[in-house]
Chains A and B, each alone.
Chain A
Amino acid sequence: MGPCLRLAAALLALPLLSAAPSCRAQGQDDQLKAAYILNIALFTTWPPAAAPAKALTVCASPQHSLWDSLRELDGRNVNGRTWATVDGGPGKACDIVVVAAARAPRSAPKEAGNALYVIDGTPSGTYAGAINLVEESQHIRFDVDTREATRAGIKFSSRLLRLARNVT
């Protein structure tokens, strides 16, 4: 099954993505990745003090291929919080930071706060974030770095960990 079919199945499986998407190769992968991030968010617990706001702020770069797909998810309810995609410039308070592997920092950001770093793509010696979305045999998989998550004060559900390709 290619990503396209998988996407269709995933979108149907997820009540969050009710609209039937058109089958466009890159766009579908992006939508699927955005849906993965949303699902990951559903199995993630932020420290209560760090999430006073109603909105679940998702920081990304408008240049990132996922930007549109993430934006499409705006307004979705994630465990009582509302998905909000914002342009993640410096100094922004983010709950999730989505970064393409090519633009990933060299090392873990110092002032990341409680942000969940999701690195899209295989990083080449750079920071891999707490979640690293990768493509493997045309499947989208993800690796989890629990130390990074712990450092950010974030907890993943064991159910999520069972689905991860690698857990470190």
Chain B
Amino acid sequence: MRLFRTRRGTASGRPGDRASISSAVGTGQIVAAVASLVIASVVLLAYQFVSLRNALTNEARVQAGIIADNITAPLMFHDREAAADMLRPLHFAANLVSATVYDSAGRRFVSYVPEAQAQGVLEPEGTVGMEAPVAYRGKVIGKVELIVNMTGLRVGLLRYVVFLGLTIAGALGIVMPILRRTRSRVARAERELDYLAYTDPVTALPNRHATYLRLEHELSLPDARLALLLLDLDNFKVVNDTLGHSAGDELLRKVAAAVRGAVGGAGIVGRIGGDEFAIILAPLAGREAALDVAKAVAASLCVPFPLEQGEVFASASIGMCVYPDDVASSAELLSSADTALYAAKNGGRNRVVDFRPEMTLATQRRARIERELRKALEAEALRVYYQPQFDCSGRHIVGVEALVRWPHPEHGFVTPAEFIPIAEETGMIVELGRWVLRRACHDVAGWLRAGVADLSLAVNVSARQMREPGFIGDVMRALADSALPPEHLELELTESLLMENVDTAIEFMRQIRAAGIRLSIDDFGTGYSSLSYLQSFPINQLKIDRSFVQLLPQRGETIARAIISLGRGFGLTVLAEGVEDHAQLEWLRAAGCDYVQGFLLGKPMPAEDLLARLAANPDRGRPGQDGAHPAPGYASTENLNRDSVA
């Protein structure tokens, strides 16, 4: 794997300039061995020096003592010849420079200088003197002075150095092959570790860490100009969930190969997440070149990938950001490319989006909304609005749909179209839904108890909430705490939510129905719904989507009539939402629709306004139909879009 370029246009196999452990260990071992040998040698040499010097001085001391002992008589008799005779054997003393005998007055009596010394062959430095008193029967009658040169010491030390050198060379000769073997083993282990640390095991591409290192490296080069492309597979999760992990891995390998093929030598590809890839294009000639590569990558994925289980399409969303044109730092580069990727995903997937600065503003706004929504939720600063639902006469309020509203202290009402998707993405929808449910149950139960109105309450359920294991428990608790009779509550589910996992959905609905709670299908007819589920799903009501209602009465009659007819056939009530004019209301009444809801009859409003309206309308209540329960309240996102700033 070639990860890092040391210079433009070249590549090295190692991440960054990091020295390899094996070479560091090898150098370290050699340095340690040499250092220890040098220290040991110095200590041994010092010891040897002291030993040799001591031996030499001891020898000189002994010689001086012998001379002093023998020279007493010649000195006393002042017999220089005899004295010289006695000193003559000193020519056997190799290191002797001179031997001199002094009388008691310090005058020189006799001296001996070896011939070599007399010829001045040896330098005077490096000598040591040794004195011994000449005494006879306790009386000091002179002294002997020997001058000994240290040549012997130097020669001895030199010999020792040679000996040490040979010993060390021999030892290293034995140890070096072992060290070499160890180093090669460490190097091999290091290569394996490097591979594991910097490579994604599935695709053999550089992993997240290696990719980011490479990015940092590229950015650190002078005059760096590069494009970062973040690629996210649009349907990987579906492949993984439906075909299994091995198919997912196989798809990743094929995608990786396709992307690498498309990128070619223009840059490197790394896998930085489950289904996320990063492409670093460096050095970069221009933005167009980067876009070309991005399009080539997108095109390379627009073909079916043959897996063992069958062919799979793996479209991808690609976000692109160019440094330094768009951003000034690596952190910004990543986050901006991510923002572009997010925009690509939100823009309908399977597309390439080039980063634009305003995306950052949108991202920042999104982040702020998320932060403030969390605070608002904690501070209970959100409000529940109620949109009335009528029987087809348009006079009797039979229920309300609970809708959440966010009056922001600074920016006024924040549209649910903006904050609901954020709540969905971040998971806050679970808590938000729970809060709305509890609040609405409490309000409506209070009105029931007070005899203000006999209403049903419709509350929307998001996909995320339904997946939450404790959701049914939450619903039961909300009912129990508020003492709202279960038959007054209706949960609204969307088609797509139910179709995600039909078996789970049916089980969920059975439990809800068993508790006496009603169920209605929202947005009926807008998704890929199967008519057969109307038989198997234990639902109570269908809602005609506003998109169909708004076409009435000139167009869309066929669909509206068909839905009403279906509802009748299956024994379900039908509610039309988004009724905005009298003609629509008239048509619906004529067509036999049970309930209606819309701006024509009542916008979403605060509880006080609703109560005021109920008080003003003495004909409130639940007219019912053959004992069937009246239509519940409902406020779906399409209502939110229009009614949010009510």
Where the two chains meet, the residues of A that have a C-beta atom closer than 8 Å to any C-beta of B are 6, 9-10, 12-15, 36, 39, 42-43, 79, 157, 159-160, 162-163
- Contacts A13-B78, A15-B141, A42-B137 given; 4 further ones with Cβ under 8 A? A12-B103, A13-B141, A13-B142, A14-B141
Instruction: Name the contact of B78 in the complex, choosing from A6, A42, A43, A160 (C-beta under 8 A).
Output: A6
Q: Are B70 and A159 in contact (CB under 8 A)?
A: yes
Q: Are A160 and B103 in contact (CB under 8 A)?
A: no
Q: Are A162 and B77 in contact (CB under 8 A)?
A: no
Is B437 close to A, CB under 8 A?
Answer: no
Q: Are B73 and A14 in contact (CB under 8 A)?
A: no
Interface stretch (choices B21-29, B104-112, B495-503, B542-550): B104-112
Is B324 close to A, CB under 8 A?
Answer: no
Where the two chains meet, the residues of B that have a C-beta atom closer than 8 Å to any C-beta of A are 70, 72-79, 82, 86, 103-105, 107, 109, 136-137, 139, 141-142
Q: Are A163 and B79 in contact (CB under 8 A)?
A: yes
**Closest chain A residue to B71, Cβ basis:** A159
Q: Which 10 A-B pairs have the closest CB atoms?
A: A159-B73, A10-B78, A13-B78, A13-B103, A39-B76, A163-B82, A9-B78, A163-B77, A163-B79, A163-B73
Bound-state CA distance A43–B74 (Å) is 12
What chain A residues lie within 8 Å of B109 (beta carbons)? 13
Bound-state CA distance A36–B79 (Å) is 11
Instruction: Name the contact of B73 in the complex, choosing from A9, A12, A15, A157 (C-beta under 8 A).
Output: A157
What chain B residues lie within 8 Å of A42 (beta carbons)? 76, 136-137
Bound-state CA distance A159–B105 (Å) is 22
Bound-state CA distance A39–B74 (Å) is 11
**Closest chain B residue to A9, Cβ basis:** B78
Bound-state CA distance A60–B105 (Å) is 32
What chain A residues lie within 8 Å of B103 (beta carbons)? 12-13
**Closest chain A residue to B109, Cβ basis:** A13
Instruction: Name the contact of A162 in the complex, choosing from B73, B107, B139 (C-beta under 8 A).
Output: B73
Bound-state CA distance A6–B77 (Å) is 10
Minimum CB–CB distance from A128 to chain B (whole Å) comes to 19
Q: Are A13 and B76 in contact (CB under 8 A)?
A: yes
Bound-state CA distance A101–B503 (Å) is 155
Bound-state CA distance A15–B78 (Å) is 12
Contact status of A12 and B72, CB under 8 A, knowing A162-B82, A163-B79, A163-B82: no
Bound-state CA distance A14–B105 (Å) is 10
What chain A residues lie within 8 Å of B86 (beta carbons)? 162
Residue of B77, B79, B86 with highest tally of chain A CB at under 10 A = B77
Bound-state CA distance A73–B120 (Å) is 47
Q: Are A43 and B105 in contact (CB under 8 A)?
A: no
What chain B residues lie within 8 Å of A43 (beta carbons)? 73
By secondary structure, the B interface counts as mixed
Minimum CB–CB distance from A73 to chain B (whole Å) comes to 14
Q: Are B107 and A12 in contact (CB under 8 A)?
A: yes
**Closest chain A residue to B70, Cβ basis:** A159
Minimum CB–CB distance from B126 to chain A (whole Å) comes to 33
What chain A residues lie within 8 Å of B141 (beta carbons)? 13-15
Q: Are A14 and B107 in contact (CB under 8 A)?
A: no
Instruction: Name the contact of A15 in the complex, choosing from B70, B74, B77, B139 (C-beta under 8 A).
Output: B139
What chain B residues lie within 8 Å of A6 (beta carbons)? 78
What chain A residues lie within 8 Å of B82 (beta carbons)? 162-163
What chain B residues lie within 8 Å of A163 (beta carbons)? 73-74, 77, 79, 82
What chain B residues lie within 8 Å of A12 (beta carbons)? 103, 105, 107
What chain B residues lie within 8 Å of A39 (beta carbons)? 73, 76-77
Name 16 interchain pairs, CB-CB below 8 A, sorted by A: A12-B103, A13-B104, A13-B109, A14-B78, A15-B104, A39-B76, A39-B77, A42-B76, A42-B136, A79-B137, A157-B73, A160-B73, A162-B73, A163-B73, A163-B74, A163-B77
Q: Are B70 and A13 in contact (CB under 8 A)?
A: no
What chain A residues lie within 8 Å of B70 (beta carbons)? 159
Residue of B74, B76, B137 with highest tally of chain A CB at under 10 A = B76
**Closest chain A residue to B85, Cβ basis:** A162
Bound-state CA distance A162–B77 (Å) is 11
**Closest chain B residue to A14, Cβ basis:** B76
**Closest chain B residue to A78, Cβ basis:** B137
Minimum CB–CB distance from B521 to chain A (whole Å) comes to 139
What chain B residues lie within 8 Å of A15 (beta carbons)? 104, 139, 141
Residue of B72, B78, B86, B109 with highest tally of chain A CB at under 10 A = B78
Minimum CB–CB distance from B226 to chain A (whole Å) comes to 102
What chain B residues lie within 8 Å of A160 (beta carbons)? 73
**Closest chain B residue to A8, Cβ basis:** B78
What chain A residues lie within 8 Å of B107 (beta carbons)? 12
What chain A residues lie within 8 Å of B76 (beta carbons)? 13-14, 39, 42
Residue of B75, B105, B136 with highest tally of chain A CB at under 10 A = B136
Bound-state CA distance A43–B79 (Å) is 15
What chain B residues lie within 8 Å of A14 (beta carbons)? 76, 78, 141
Instruction: Name the contact of A36 in the complex, choosing from B72, B77, B104, B142 (C-beta under 8 A).
Output: B77
Q: Are B73 and A13 in contact (CB under 8 A)?
A: no
**Closest chain B residue to A158, Cβ basis:** B73
Bound-state CA distance A15–B75 (Å) is 11
Minimum CB–CB distance from A21 to chain B (whole Å) comes to 14
Bound-state CA distance A21–B361 (Å) is 125
What chain B residues lie within 8 Å of A162 (beta carbons)? 73-74, 82, 86
Contact status of A10 and B77, CB under 8 A, knowing A15-B104, A159-B72, A163-B82: yes
**Closest chain A residue to B104, Cβ basis:** A15
Minimum CB–CB distance from A15 to chain B (whole Å) comes to 6
**Closest chain A residue to B78, Cβ basis:** A10
What chain A residues lie within 8 Å of B79 (beta carbons)? 163
Bound-state CA distance A163–B75 (Å) is 11
What chain B residues lie within 8 Å of A79 (beta carbons)? 137
Bound-state CA distance A157–B74 (Å) is 13
What chain A residues lie within 8 Å of B105 (beta carbons)? 12
Minimum CB–CB distance from A18 to chain B (whole Å) comes to 10
Bound-state CA distance A90–B75 (Å) is 36
Instruction: Name the contact of A13 in the complex, choosing from B75, B137, B139 (C-beta under 8 A).
Output: B75
Minimum CB–CB distance from A144 to chain B (whole Å) comes to 12
**Closest chain B residue to A43, Cβ basis:** B73
